[in-house]
Amino acid sequence: MRQRAFSLTEILIAVIVVAIVGGALVSAFFSFSLSYSHTEDYTTAREEIENALGALSSQLSNAGLGMPNNRDDKGSFAVAFAKGDNVTVAPVMSLMGKKGEAWGGPITVATDDLPDGAVKTLNSGYYSGSELYYAWAVPRSGLVSPDFGKAMRKPSGLSTFENYEVLSEDRGYWSGDSLQLKMIRGGAAVANAGEWVVFPSFGAPLWVKQSMPSHATVLVAPGAHKEKVLLGGLLYGLEEAHCVRAARLRVASGELIQELYETPPQDRPSRVKVLARNIVGAWFRFNPKNRILSVSLAAKGLNTAEARHASGRRPRGWPIGAPDIVEGKNHRILVESMTWRIRN
């Protein structure tokens, strides 16, 4: 029995059907691949940025706590941490401003090493730059006794000091005063020798001259006393002491790094942490009037994207005024920002 062969028409129809189905499958595959690459890029970038912002949140929430806030536009923050008769090596905080100048404070925007790299002029009401120096307060466990070894007084003997006209009628502890800090019910020492201590309600740093199990001898802003700037105020005790820490944020080799100034005399970083990887840009903006700090980070995806899918030099959300992004311009780039109101 003779078998019937496929006709040319049937073969052509089969080829067309296979081509249509195959094309649809290839198109679906490439669409899925593009979608997966897109999702992977933004998921990875978002995870890096959110981890970094999360690590910074508690520190920036306590930035400037118990410290001079520089609102007097006279550089009182840097002066408070300057060298004094006993402080022979000044910490990095002393570079975060300059006596008689408005820039700086517990939030200091920069573009390079301090002090020359500090941003010293406002742009539309903001200090803006690619690096950030900041100082924050870390609480110590336990409360400090109200017995400081001396009584509060009016600063009558400091009439030649700057700020005297404003503070001359107040009672308190003032620049250069020596106090004794004791923990209630014993416990660990208030701080180590050479550290800086603040109290949320006081507004001036205290330098720990000597630390013993029973008490710590501290000096109120010894550098301010040497510079004849009056700092201080009321201090009643029954309050938690905080140690001052400082850090620098910047992008280096595709990483957002945090240089931590923790070990006395805090004049150089004691350690460096990597907060995020695949970072191609960071931009910091601080408004000294309303105390608003904005941090914007740009992270690139893992995959190289076609030109029509790449984010380019100005990815969506990148702040106006920030420089173009060069590294990673051929990738998908995610930009996220977070804002803090600095409490002091």
What secondary structure does DSSP assign to 172-227, as a single string? BEETT-EEEE-BTTS-S-S--TT-EEE-TTT-S-EEEEEE-SS-EEEEE-HHHHHT
Q: Based on the number of CB atoms within 10 Å of its own CB, is 258 exposed (0-12), middle (13-18) or buried (19 or more)?
A: buried
Beta bridge partners of 245: 136
Q: Are 84 and 219 in contact (CB under 8 A)?
A: yes
Q: What is the pLDDT of residue 307?
A: 47
Indicate the range of 208-217, 278-287, 300-309 predicted with least confidence.
300-309
Strand partners, 137: 244
pLDDT in tens, 92-105: 999 999 999 999 99
d(CA 239, CA 66): 12
CA nearest 80: which of 237, 171, 202?
A: 202
| Domain segments of the chain as ranges | 7-296+338-344
What is the CB-side half-sphere exposure of residue 269 using CA atoms within 13 A? Answer: 13
* Residue 48 pLDDT exceeds 80: yes
The DSSP letter of residue 285 is E
Under the banding of pLDDT at 50, 70 and 90, the label for residue 32 is very low
SS3 229: strand
pLDDT tens-digit profile of 223-278? 999 999 999 999 998 999 999 999 999 999 999 999 999 999 999 999 999 999 99
Peptide bond into 265 cis (omega under 30): yes
Give yes or no for residue 303 having a pLDDT over 90: no
pLDDT band at 3 (very low <50, low <70, confident <90, very high): low
Contact 231, 203 (CB under 8 A): yes
Residues β-bridged to residue 247: 134, 260
User: Which has more confidence, 165 or 286?
Assistant: 286
Residue 103's pLDDT is 95
User: pLDDT digit string (tens) for 143-202?
Assistant: 899 999 999 999 988 999 998 988 999 999 999 999 999 988 766 678 899 999 999 999
Query: Average pLDDT of 55-66?
Result: 95
Q: Would you say residue 53 has pLDDT above 80?
A: yes
Confidence of residue 88 (pLDDT cuts 50, 70, 90): very high
Structure tokens at 246: 């400082």
Tens of pLDDT along 9-30?
767 777 787 777 777 666 655 5
Question: What is the average per-residue pLDDT within 313-340?
Answer: 89
Contact 227, 238 (CB under 8 A): no
Length of the chain, please?
344
Q: Above pLDDT 90, what percent of the chain?
A: 68
Listing DSSP states for 18-30 in one string gives HHHHHHHHHHHHH
For 139, which DSSP code?
A: E
What is the average per-residue pLDDT within 311-335? 86
The gap between the terminal CA atoms of the chain, to the nearest Å, is: 100
Is the confidence at residue 313, as pLDDT, over 50? yes
